[in-house]
Amino acid sequence: MEINITVRKDRYGSKFAFAGDHELFQFEERTHNGAQWYFWPAGNYNPTVFNGKEFPMNYFVDACKAKYMLDMKETSLPEKVNVVGGKSRLDWMG
C-alpha cells in the first residue's frame, strides 16, 4: 500500500502532513535555539525536535506511515510514502 501526502502551511507558519483530507500531524521549523525542526505526531505538548536546517525526511516518512496506520486502523504499515503536494515546504523556511 502507498499513501500520498500533501504538506499544507497555515497562516502562522505551521505545516501539516495530510493523507487526503485527513491531518496526520503538525510540524514546523524554529530558530529560537538555533535551527530546529519540531514535530508533533503524538499531540500538542511533547514535540520531537531535530537540530539543524536539514529536513529529517526519514523521520517524516516513518511518522506518516505510523500515524496513517493508527488513524486509519490499518493492520500494517504502508510500504511507501509519496509527497504529492507542498514538497517545497520541506525545505528550511519553505
pTM: 0.94
Cell of 73: 486502523
pLDDT of residue 94: 78
Backbone CA torsion sign across 48, 46, 10, 34: negative
User: Mean pLDDT, the chain, as a whole number?
Assistant: 95
- Count of CB atoms within 10 A of residue 89's CB? 20
pLDDT (tens digit, 9 = 90+) per residue, 37-67? Answer: 999 998 778 899 999 999 999 999 999 999 9
Count of CA atoms in the C-beta half-sphere (13 A) of 55: 14
Strands 22-30 and 15-19: antiparallel
Sheet holding 36-40: strands in order across?
Answer: 48-51, 36-40, 22-30, 15-19, 2-9, 80-85
55 residue type, one letter: F
Q: 22-37: per-residue pLDDT in tens?
A: 999 999 999 998 999 9
